Amino acid sequence: MALAVQPYTNEMDDHDPLHRPVCRLLQAHQAEMASVHMRDLFVAEPERFERFSLQVGDILLDYSKNRITDESMHLLMQLAEEAEVPGWRERMFSGDKINHTENRAVLHVALRNRSNDPVVVDGEDVMPKVNAVIERMGAFAERVRSGQWRGYTGERITDVVNIGIGGSDLGPQMVVQALRPYRHPRLKLHFISNVDGAHVKETLESLNPETTLFIVSSKTFTTQETMTNAHYARDWFMAQSQAVKHVAKHFVAVSTNRDAVTQFGIDPDNMFEFWDWVGGRYSLWSAIGLSIVLAVGAERFSELLEGAHEMDNHFRHAPLAQNMPVILAMLGVWYNNFFGAESQAILPYDHYLRSLPAYLEQADMESNGKSVDREGHVVDYATGAIVWGATGINGQHAFYQMLHQGTKMIPADFIVSIEPPTELEGHHDILMANFLAQTEALMRGRTREETQLESGAVQVGQFIQHKVFDGNHPSNAILLQKLTPHALGMLVALYEHKIFVQGVIWNLNSYDQWGVELGKQLANRILPELHADVPVGSHDASTNALINHYRRMSHPRAGL
Ligand code: G6Q
């Protein structure tokens, strides 16, 4: 298999982690490991589970079903050490502006810093204002949840609609769904992100303006999709309430942009603030999590933050070789850069975690889907993996065929909770049995001889090869005791730090997202052209033709 790492030469930049001498050792080691089957490793090392698993708080990670030996882990940890993961980690925690292209600190860890130790940005300890906003969110949510906060006709709020997109949608939406068993019995949460009018229309169709509360969630408060949906929602509300003064009871904002919030007509007293050192995709811990607090209450939100803080402490202080995020990250690097794997599957065996894959797609791919390193050089090694997935049990009846018998290596994270969310124990046992069976099957496979034996004499030679499973497919098993707010906080922080470590290894700035800008700019240019009086000819032939086709076909009676 082609390796993504170039041979080391002395002229190579010292800051390029994948050209370090340890990578040559890893390359040579991969060449040895390529033909080693995990089935044989398990026979030779019966204590593999003890050696390659660890428990941190609510989370057990079994990484023994990976194509690794002690030597693999040793070399990978050496790479992490040489790439200065500990130094970068400290820089992040202490508020250095490691997002250098935007000149910003990266401090989602401060949002859940339950120790309250000072975190200083530009000479100011940010903890007092972090805590003040958390308190305001809790107090506001309590008023809505208790029924004290009333709509303009005196009715209690029954529905909360978060309008936001990307980082201002995926995190809170995923968490609210995951913590559904803890939800408030009266309040229903809705999330509108898509600018396709169907999303806002369909959501509002069943709602009553008198009992609906909107949270307009936007860091910048300029995002086209969010503002379009927010204006529509305000018009929808005004059509019934008829007075601007009622907006204050039904619209609140989460933003860093006070002026734009005021201009929209939201009372600044109903604005919940966060700061530029909170990246959108890392913002569910900030005021962007207001919908979470409304859904599950301040105490549960606090438990979520505590869980994340526990993982932060583990990540910050545990030695690299016993550090869960570092282990997950380096396993990813092992497959990505030394086995040529291109993707990473996320497979929760949990109905309530069904949005986790979509959440991690953004968290990971927007962070590490980059081809320019921190110094602006185009990299010559593979960076972030393609992250994808779905609930595992549904996947088994859909795409697992490829995991088991396809030609691509697809490392997979299997996630499950030991305690079921319902009293349907029988269902949970089936779920659990499948979870265990899949990781075993991926690892072990089934040899030709075993297949022949199982198929019986009649089948010998007949399509037998189709029924063989090569196995040797790597997976991690991640077991939570129960999907509590605390455990969820730990799980999300685990992945955040995994992404951070990989960004350090690949020498990327994981906290900007310039790659989303060009499309936005072009859309703004194209928008007026869709209604131009004359044919558009300023783009390439394909884009011109498509715009003109749209102009003709969407307004056939206008004779364009
Ligand atoms: C996340 C990204 C992006 C962002 C959205 C919404 O890291 O920056 O997904 O969250 O574009 O932006 P606003 O919150 O500013 O509306």
pLDDT tens for each residue of 41-88: 999 999 999 999 999 999 999 999 999 999 999 999 999 999 999 999
CA 223 – ligand 1 centroid, Å? 8
| Residue 498 is a catalytic residue | no
CA 427 to the chain's CA centroid: 27
Instruction: Report pLDDT for 7.
Output: 40
Ligand 1 centroid to residue 273 C-alpha, Å: 15
pLDDT of residue 281: 98
The rounded distance, in Å, linking the Cα atoms of 479 and 491 is 10
The Cα 24–Cα 49 span in angstroms is: 28
Radius of gyration of the chain (CA): 26
pLDDT score of 18: 77
Euclidean distance between CA atoms 252 and 139, whole angstroms: 14
Distance CA 519, CA 506 (A): 25
Expressed in angstroms and rounded, the spacing between residue 289 Cα and the centre of ligand 1 is 14
> Which position among 520, 531, 549, 555 bears the catalytic label?
520
- 470-492 confidence digits (pLDDT tens): 999 999 999 999 999 999 999 99
Helix axes 85-93 and 485-505, enclosed angle (nearest 10): 130
279 lines ligand 1 (CB under 6 A): yes
Beta strands 251-255; 188-192: pairing state:
unpaired
Closest to 111 measured CA to CA, from 265, 230, 279: 279
255 phi and psi, to 5 degrees?
A: -165, 170
Q: How far apart are CA 507 and CA 259, in angstroms?
A: 37
Where residue 180 falls (left for φ over 0; alpha for ψ -120 to 50; beta otherwise) is: alpha
pLDDT of residue 10: 40
Q: How many CB atoms lie within 10 A of CB 537?
A: 10
pTM: 0.95
Residues (pLDDT < 70) of the chain are: 1-16, 456-461, 555-560
Residue 189 and residue 293 in contact, taking contact as beta carbons nearer than 8 Å: no
Angle at 557 between CA 555 and CA 560, to 5 degrees: 60
The preferred substitution site among 168, 195, 256, 512 for testing ligand 1, maximizing ligand atoms within 8 Å of CB, is: 168
Residue of 283, 255, 256 whose CA lies nearest to 106: 283
Task: Tell me, yes or no, if 397 is annotated catalytic.
Answer: yes
Rounded-to-integer distance, Cα 339 and Cα 408, Å = 10
Does residue 48 sit in helix, strand or coil?
Answer: helix
pLDDT, position 454? 84
Closest of 317, 224, 278 to residue 108, by C-alpha: 278
* CA nearest neighbour of 134 among 284, 338, 242, 351: 284
> Which candidate in 245, 317, 397, 466 is catalytic?
397
3-state secondary structure of 10: coil
DSSP letter at 549?
Answer: H
DSSP-assigned beta bridge partners for residue 56? 59
Contact in structure between 415 and 476 (CB atoms under 8 Å):
no
Q: For the chain, what's the residue count?
A: 560
